[in-house]
Amino acid sequence: MPPRSIRALAALSLLLPVSSLAAAPKPAAVPPAPVAAKDVVEDTYHGVKVADPYQWLEKSEDPRTREWLAGQAAHMRAVLDALPSREAIRARITAIATHKSPAYVGMIQKGGVLFAMKFQPPRQQPVLLVLPSVDDTSTERVLVDPMALDPSGHTTLDFYRPSPDGKKIAVSLSKDGTESGDVTVYDVATGKPLPGEPVVTRVQGGTAGGDVAWNADGTGFFYTRYPRGEERPKADHDFYQQVYFHTLGTPVAQDTYQLGKDAPRIAFFTLQTSQDGAHTLARMGNGDGGEYAYYLRGPQGTWTQVSRFEDKVVSASIGPDALYAVSHQGAPRGKLLRIPLATPSLDKAQVVVPEGKASLAGVRASATRVYLVEQLGGPTRIRIVDMQGKALGEVPTPPVTSAGLIPLEGDDLLVPVSSYTAPSTLYRYTAQDGKLTQTALVRTSPVDTRGVVVETLECTSKDGTRVPMDVLRLAKTKRDGNNPTLLTGYGGFNISLSPGFHALDFAFIEQGGIIAATHLRGGAEFGEEWHTQGSLTQKQNVFDDFYACAKLLVDQKWTKPSRLAIEGGSNGGLLMGAALTQHPEMYRAVVARVGIYDMLRVELTPNGQFNTTEYGTVKDEAQFKALYAYSPFHHVKDGVKYPAVLFTAGDNDPRVDPFHSRKMVARLQEATGSQRPILLRTNVMGHGGGTPLSERIAEDVDVFAFLFHELGVKYRPVKP
């Protein structure tokens, strides 16, 4: 499921003779998949009785579950290890994934000091560093190295927040993919923990995320806090997040409560401080469905509620004398409000930018202007207005790209730009002359993207809605109905799939394959209406959109079902489950990563309760009927010839309990009428964030070997 700070899972990618479309080889040495026992279990929802014979697999530590998992792992390893060209595929995936050109992400400037996360293979984890110059990387200095703290590579830096003067930095660290992070304050000058400063525990989690915002003089910070000790029953420890304040040098036990006592059980907070530190903004989310309330703390030290859930304010930025907020109230694509800091209430708000054709995805106020991030179906643009909403033009980013926005002091920006065929390049935008200048932070590509064509197709969904799909292919690709194709999607949580560079896609394309990325309802590509049409009782629209995209690829003879694979993760894993149960005839192979498949029991898990505002709850009869109507686990039918499926799961996943994959695999292995493999690959990490590089490579090698084999691709080695 989505992180509280956006992160969606990357797509992957695959060719040749149809003669090798047999199921994975099963020599005598391959142990069979263990048959899951069936218990007599029945649950009743609104008078409807639902059998659940594999409910025992929900108990992760039960000896029966561990024994079954061990058998599945042995079967999976034997099948995947026997696939052809595996070592050549491993060499190619490793060469791409360990390309040494570094990536700089998550940049923040405070007190004239620029901080960044740097990922550079073969390092297993990114490092936090000080970056004195974006034009001279030789000046960078490492502040926090998770590998120095934990050589196993299983410690992750969740987030960091520098103090206003840039002299101190609060860092959240977690282990083993749990996303359960504690905050340590480091001295920027020495790179060591601040002497005498306690670690602040239970700030970050896999349900409500976590955040920190410093006060004006850097003597303390506001932070998100989960229940500790005996404050609440253990069952509530992943809920009831609140905001507290910690004064440096004092015991954590003396930290003071700020916000959240009256918040919903599934509330989560993100925090933001104004440039001068005088104001702090707290956004409270109501689960994952996109409802937010805002609170502003002024110089007098009191919190004022600015908006409620029903006011539909979804993002905001503190300017010099006003709060600039994006509202969906009567404007599903977003309008910009200006709310005076002196009287921060919606009845004082002015509409300074009305709703337009583009979806207003974000806002950032600077010293004298406001930057608007807009989206229309995928690509982004950055528009500029003054403090009263008067148009000042655009930041001149290239077309059909994704552009980020990193504020510098004054009105200048750093702008990371990427596309489907070019890695991220960092530009500096100078407001005085309106120019975009490339910095030294340019990531080179480990693959040759020349000759790759990107085009956008439109399909018509079941209800007539037009759904865009971006297609990547070699220019020489013929529409002969015989191209191996990988179709990906997400469709949920108001998350847009903007153009981005995924180098491993080209490991598929260079073998003659096609990559297709769908822009389904449930996302934010066309505003809030696009999102709501794919959530709660309208979730089936997402699956109809995806099927329409698959059908278009077949109808236009780009591919055919025997050469079509699909891939998705998390909410996209749910999409995979619905796709393979609703249209098993359409796909040859499925890669379903860390997905949800039992929609009737998802809300029994901690993060599943946060998901109810997006998916719905079985407690509501209409929502139960909608959930039951598409729940993948409940729509597996005996004797159906299902595609080959590779499920992945994380033992420590705090977002999607791995029992979903276990139950789905057990039911499919029992029911399938084909000889194609149904495999379960479980790792020891979590939902994906913080997974060491070596483990990511190992999983990708398995995925590509699986896809190439099932799609009949005779792998041709490629020189690095």
> How is residue 594 written in tokens?
């860390």
Per mean pLDDT, which range of 56-65, 160-169, 645-654, 685-694 is the poorest? 685-694
What residue has token string 């106020």? 365
Residue 566, pLDDT score: 98
> How is residue 144 written in tokens?
């926090």
In this model, does residue 226 exceed pLDDT 50? yes
Residue 22, pLDDT score: 35
User: Whose CA is closest to 120, among 446, 405, 509, 427?
Assistant: 446
Residue 645, pLDDT score: 98
177: left (phi over 0), alpha (psi -120 to 50) or beta: left
Dihedral of the alpha carbons of 613, 616, 620, 622, in degrees to the nearest 10: 130
DSSP 253: G
Residue 525, pLDDT score: 94
Residue 187, pLDDT score: 97
Helices and strands (H, E) in the chain, number of each type: 12, 40
Report the pLDDT averaged over residues 161-171.
97
Residue 2, pLDDT score: 58
Contact between 369 and 382 under an 8 Å Cβ cutoff? The reply is no
Residue 1, pLDDT score: 61
Distances (CA, A) of 535 to 195, 296, 329, 571: 49, 30, 18, 11
What residue has token string 């292995």? 669
Contact between 580 and 587 under an 8 Å Cβ cutoff? The reply is yes
User: Whose CA is closest to 247, among 365, 168, 354, 173?
Assistant: 168
In this model, does residue 710 exceed pLDDT 70? yes
Contact between 178 and 206 under an 8 Å Cβ cutoff? The reply is yes
Contact between 140 and 130 under an 8 Å Cβ cutoff? The reply is yes
Sort 401 into a burial class: Cβ within 10 Å, 0-12 / 13-18 / 19+: buried
Count CA atoms closer than 13 A to 133's CA, side-chain side: 6
Q: From CA 160, how far away is CA 465, in angstroms rounded?
A: 41
> How is residue 618 written in tokens?
């079985």
Q: From CA 494, how far away is CA 6, in angstroms rounded?
A: 10
**624-659: b (≥16 Cβ within 10 Å) or e:** bebbbebbbbbbbeeebebbbbbbbbbebbbbbbbb
CA–centroid distance for 144 within its chain: 24
Contact between 116 and 106 under an 8 Å Cβ cutoff? The reply is yes
What residue has token string 């699956």? 543
Paired with 203 in beta bridges are: none
Distances (CA, A) of 599 to 229, 569, 593: 32, 16, 16
Kind of pairing, strands 103-110 and 406-407?
unpaired
CA–centroid distance for 47 within its chain: 37
Residue 232, pLDDT score: 95
Q: From CA 468, how far away is CA 496, in angstroms rounded?
A: 12
Q: What is the pLDDT of residues 6-24, one digit of tens each?
A: 233 333 222 222 223 334 4
Report the pLDDT averaged over residues 296-321.
97
What residue has token string 């007098």? 300
Q: What is the pLDDT of residues 534-545, one digit of tens each?
A: 999 999 999 999
User: Whose CA is closest to 428, among 405, 401, 399?
Assistant: 405
Could you check whether the bond before residue 122 is cis, i.e. omega within 30 degrees of 0? yes
What residue has token string 């207005």? 385
> How is residue 10 written in tokens?
């990357």
Q: From CA 509, how far away is CA 285, in angstroms rounded?
A: 40
Report the pLDDT averaged over residues 599-607.
97
pTM of the model: 0.93
> How is residue 445 written in tokens?
């590509």
Mean pLDDT, rounded, of the chain: 94
Report the pLDDT averaged over residues 95-112.
94
Q: If you write DSSP's letter for every residue of 66-93 in order, what string do you get? A: HHHHHHHHHHHHHHHHTSTTHHHHHHHH
Residue 684, pLDDT score: 86
* pLDDT-based confidence at residue 688 (cuts at 50, 70, 90): confident
CA–centroid distance for 432 within its chain: 35
Q: What is the pLDDT of residues 574-590, one digit of tens each?
A: 999 999 999 999 999 99
Residue 400, pLDDT score: 87
User: Whose CA is closest to 243, among 279, 206, 218, 268?
Assistant: 268
Q: If you write DSSP's letter for every residue of 106-166 in order, what string do you get? A: EEEEETTEEEEEEE-TT-SS-EEEE-S-TT-GGG-EEEE-HHHH-TTS-EEEEEEEE-TTS
Contact between 299 and 278 under an 8 Å Cβ cutoff? The reply is yes
Residue 685, pLDDT score: 86
Contact between 570 and 656 under an 8 Å Cβ cutoff? The reply is yes
Report the pLDDT averaged over residues 255-276.
96
Question: What is the chain's length?
Answer: 720
Q: From CA 211, how far away is CA 564, in angstroms rounded?
A: 41
Per mean pLDDT, which range of 8-22, 260-274, 371-385, 420-434 is the poorest? 8-22
